[in-house]
Chains A and B, each alone.
Chain A
Amino acid sequence: GENVEQHPSTLSVQEGDSAVIKCTYSDSASNYFPWYKQELGKRPQLIIDIRSNVGEKKDQRIAVTLNKTAKHFSLHITETQPEDSAVYFCAALGNEKLTFGTGTRLTIIP
């Protein structure tokens, strides 16, 4: 089955700086890669996603890049704000199933 690795597990960033979280996946048939933000005790919230026929997607301060050849995809958050502090999960969709990465706890330092 699919295996998704995510790094780093924790990340502290000064407010206003950029944050980058990276994921790799194993199943070349996976074709959809969402990123979720989860606050404590809450459901995951989709923040951005990318499909396998696209290399990059941007939505205001958030961008995702995908390298299908290397099976890498990354989340980029620019101009970070305190409300960006949360746990972020990448995921890969293959065979109708979403497999999640291990998560990154992002802390924005005011």
Chain B
Amino acid sequence: GAVVSQHPSWVICKSGTSVKIECRSLDFQATTMFWYRQFPKQSLMLMATSNEGSKATYEQGVEKDKFLINHASLTLSTLTVTSAHPEDSSFYICSAREPWRGNGYTFGSGTRLTVV
């Protein structure tokens, strides 16, 4: 099946610094990728939809200047958490639609971000 690779799997950063998370589709082209955030013991909440070659679409309440998304190629989307604060500590997961499974979605392995 379709594979989405996400890196890093975990990262610890200091408050005020920026962190970049990468999401790659390994065996297919993904014109659209999705970024989710999951706080402990909570559900996955869609943050934004990443569109190749155009601006990302952010969900209501998500700060686009804080969570920068770049989808410069058909296989790579990046999420940069800028000026990170402890409240940004969370599990970030990307997702892409599997091209040969109709409505099927495949997920990256997730990134555990801890801001200290």
Contact = CB atoms under 8 A, between A and B. Distances in A.
Interface of A: 31-32, 34, 41-44, 46, 49, 51, 89, 93, 96-103
21 contacts: A31-B103, A32-B102, A32-B103, A34-B103, A34-B104, A42-B109, A43-B107, A44-B93, A44-B107, A49-B104, A51-B102, A93-B103, A96-B49, A97-B46, A97-B49, A98-B46, A98-B95, A99-B46, A100-B43, A102-B43, A103-B43
Contacts, number: 46
A102 B43 CA distance: 5
A31 to B, nearest CB: 8
Given A51-B103, A89-B43, A102-B43, A43 B93 contact: yes
Nearest to A102: B43
B43 A44 contact: no
Interface residues of B, number: 20
B110 to A, nearest CB: 5
A34 B105 contact: yes
Given A32-B103, A41-B110, A103-B42, 6 more contacts: A42-B109, A42-B110, A43-B109, A44-B107, A89-B43, A101-B43
Contact of A43 (B46, B104, B108): B108
A42 B110 CA distance: 7
Interface of B: 32, 34, 42-46, 49, 91, 93, 95, 102-105, 107-110, 112
A32 B42 CA distance: 22
A46 B106 CA distance: 8
A44 B104 contact: no
A74 B68 CA distance: 37
Q: Nearest 6 A-B pairs (CB), nearest first?
A: A32-B103, A43-B107, A100-B43, A100-B44, A102-B43, A103-B43
A101 to B, nearest CB: 7
Contacts of A31: 103
Contacts of A42: 109-110
A51 B43 CA distance: 22
